[in-house]
Amino acid sequence: MNRDVMLSVSCTTRAPRKGEVHGKNYFFISRDKFIDMVENNGFIEFAEVYGNYYGTPRKFVEENLDKGKDVLLEIDIQGALKVKERFEEGVFVFILPPSMEELKNRIINRGTESEKEILRRFESAYKELNYVSRYNYFIINDRVDAAAEKLQAVLIAEKCRVDRFKMKLIGE
């Protein structure tokens, strides 16, 4: 990915899954710490999802935006809609599975959810499809490398938009 693009790492109160690393996949924190961050305006957005809390740390995002970096948030629909209210200039990309059957297989193959949880996640996925029209772009995640190329193309296109162009005059 581009060096001017920073991936924001979200905080969560859920337990790490096998292979997940604190600070890389998520910041795994206690509910008390999460609530403290909420009360101190420490998140750009946060939501409760499947009984756990998730949030995007404000400090990291704002510091990188101030440096002229693009910040990529990997968040659910609840969070994206909250961010969209606050950052109208944001670019929103909905990542779709190649098929609902493939999505179900991916959830099952993680091996971390019960049958009941798998069904709940799958039902939520169907509902979430109704929100794709609230996004600027969609990418079908059939192959990770192809999906990453498409995301890079979106970033390039957005940098070339006339309404984002700010001319610098000589001597400024």
* Of 76, 106, 128, the domain-final residue: 76
Provide the number of structural domains found in the chain: 2
Report the distance separating Cα 131 and Cα 64, nearest Å: 28
Q: Is the pLDDT at 1 greater than 70, yes or no?
A: no
Mean pLDDT of the chain: 89
Same domain, 95 and 168: yes
Alpha helices in the chain (DSSP H): 31-39, 58-66, 77-86, 100-110, 115-128, 144-159
Domain membership of residue 5 as a residue range: 1-76
Same domain, 119 and 64: no
For 42-72, how does the pLDDT look when each residue is reduced to its tens digit (9 = 90+)? Answer: 999 999 988 899 999 999 999 999 998 999 9
Whichever domain contains 62, its CATH number is: 3.30.63.10
Residue 121 in contact with residue 104, Cβ under 8 Å?
no
Dihedral angle, C-alpha 57, 9, 144, 68, nearest 10 °: 60
pLDDT at 168: 59
pLDDT at 110: 79
For 60-116, how does the pLDDT look when each residue is reduced to its tens digit (9 = 90+)? Answer: 999 999 998 999 999 989 899 999 998 888 999 999 999 888 888 887 887 777 888
pLDDT at 104: 82
Question: Which is nearest to 159 in space by CA: 70, 81, 45?
Answer: 70
Report the distance separating Cα 65 and Cα 24, nearest Å: 20
Report the distance separating Cα 61 and Cα 89, nearest Å: 14
Q: Is the pLDDT at 153 greater than 60, yes or no?
A: yes
pLDDT at 121: 82
* Of 76, 111, 129, the domain-final residue: 76
Tokens of 149: 């190329």
pLDDT at 120: 84
Is residue 79 helix, strand or coil?
helix
